[in-house]
Homo-oligomer: A and B are copies of this chain.
């Protein structure tokens, strides 16, 4: 027939090509690769998220920070350990509640955040290269809508639940 004239590896199956869950998986892999390459071996993607959170919220406890970022609290420990080792954040006991550790970003951390953000934006630009500026805005809006919607599900606390009305 004709189908074999394409060198090969040209087009994925139609069924997958229109399946958002499959497309998202591929975009994610590309995105991950670009950002990871841009950051190097010493810094992970979660590090940027944590630094950005601290920069915006000011000093907070790990639990609050983790919930806002949608992160597992257990995984936060390792991230903060790494960030503190680089003197990008400080952690001190909250005198009013000795269960809590108040995390704050340092000047070095803020500088690192700027660098990382810049690289992340460069990686993003590479990812979105085939899209026009208005298309990029569209994409951001659509993704925000999805994330905003599903984040309410995922809250294990607030037990209320069931049918909310």
Per-residue B-contact encoding for A12-29, CB less than 8 Å = 1, 0 else: 111111111111111110
Number of interface residues of A (CB under 8 A): 68
> Is A42 part of the contact surface with B, judged by Cβ < 8 Å?
no
B117, A145: Cβ atoms under 8 Å?
Answer: no
Q: How many angstroms from the CA of A142 to the CA of B130 in the assembled complex?
A: 9
B-contacting residues, A104-130, CB 8 Å: 117, 120-121, 123-124, 127-130
A138 CB contacts on chain B under 8 angstroms: 138, 142
Pick the interface stretch among A65-73, A75-83, A84-92, A95-103.
A65-73
B8, A64: Cβ atoms under 8 Å?
Answer: yes
Q: Select from chain B the residue with minimum beta-carbon distance to A18.
A: B140
Assuming the contacts A52-B15, A56-B14, A139-B142, asked whether A31 and B20 have C-beta atoms less than 8 A apart, the reply is yes
